[in-house]
Amino acid sequence: MKRLAITISLVLAFFTGTASATGPTETVKYATSSIINELSQLEGEQRSQHEIQRLVETYILPAIDQEKIAKLALGKHWKKATAEQRAAFIDTFRDLQIRTYTGAFTAFNGQEFNFKKPRFNKTGSKAIVKGEMVQPNGQKIPVDFKLYVNKQQQWKIYDAVIAGLGMVKTYRQQLNQQLRNNSLDDIINSMRTDLQTAQR
């Protein structure tokens, strides 16, 4: 399951960034080029955890709606959570994603990406960008990215579907299973413990 999360995070990481373009596909293409350019300028020894985390925080976090992803990941449990629990979960969940994205970026070895035109919903407020991640060996992995327009009229990514498997759905299934026997506070504390252990 951890390998799956890393794979999803890696693909998501390559497709997120500052939404300086006008549409969802343009946003995806811009972000991809920006991150690949940054990585290609770094030698192997320069790809330290600190430097890769900087790239994650520069290109990934601004483009993802952290609250929306956290809300979708918790599903029915979101409504039951207090305001304090929601805030704590969003922050801790974000930090765990940073750690996962940072680890995923170390695995970059020259993947390429192809994109199609976006599919919009009836109101034009949501879109799906379909594409492929092409591995160095020629293997192609289908990817779908779900975006929406926020109140600031920016396109934000809130889900990724890789080879038919959704990131949000995967997180939700994991959390639902954990919450059968643990409280949300227990889950948050466990996530924090994992983060502290990883930083040692």
**Token pair in block for residue 126:** 């949501």
Residues of the chain with pLDDT under 70: 1-21, 32, 200
Q: What average pLDDT is seen over the chain?
A: 83
How many other CB atoms sit within 10 Å of the CB of residue 63? Answer: 21
Q: Does 113 map to a domain?
A: yes
Q: Does 87 map to a domain?
A: yes
Q: Look at the chain and report how many structural domains it folds into.
A: 1
- What distance in Å separates the CA atoms of residue 36 and residue 159, rounded to the nearest whole number? 21
Q: Does 200 map to a domain?
A: no
pLDDT of residue 138: 86
Q: Does 181 map to a domain?
A: yes
Q: Does 158 map to a domain?
A: yes
Q: Does 165 map to a domain?
A: yes
Exposure string for 89-117, b = 16+ CB within 10 A, e = fewer: bbebbbbbbbbbbbbbbeebeebebebee
- Secondary structure (DSSP) of 49-115: HHHHHHHIIIIIGGGB-HHHHHHHHHTTHHHHS-HHHHHHHHHHHHHHHHHHHHHHHTT-S--EEEE
Closest alpha carbon to 167 in 87, 69, 89, 49: 69
Task: Quick: pLDDT tens for 55-111.
Answer: 888 877 777 889 999 999 999 999 999 999 999 999 999 998 888 777 777 777 777
Tell if the pTM clears 0.85, that is, is over it: no
pLDDT of residue 177: 95
How many other CB atoms sit within 10 Å of the CB of residue 86? Answer: 17
Query: What amino acid is encoded at 160 in this protein?
Result: A
pLDDT of residue 185: 96
Taking 3-state DSSP, the helix, strand and coil percentages for the chain, each rounded to the nearest 5, stand at: 55, 20, 25
**Token pair in block for residue 132:** 């492929």
How many other CB atoms sit within 10 Å of the CB of residue 30? Answer: 17
pLDDT of residue 86: 97
Sort strands 119-120 and 165-166 into parallel, antiparallel or unpaired.
unpaired
**Residue ranges making up the domain that contains 8:** 2-195
- What distance in Å separates the CA atoms of residue 95 and residue 76, rounded to the nearest whole number? 22
- What distance in Å separates the CA atoms of residue 88 and residue 91, rounded to the nearest whole number? 5
The CATH number linked to 187 is 3.10.450.710
- What distance in Å separates the CA atoms of residue 19 and residue 149, rounded to the nearest whole number? 11
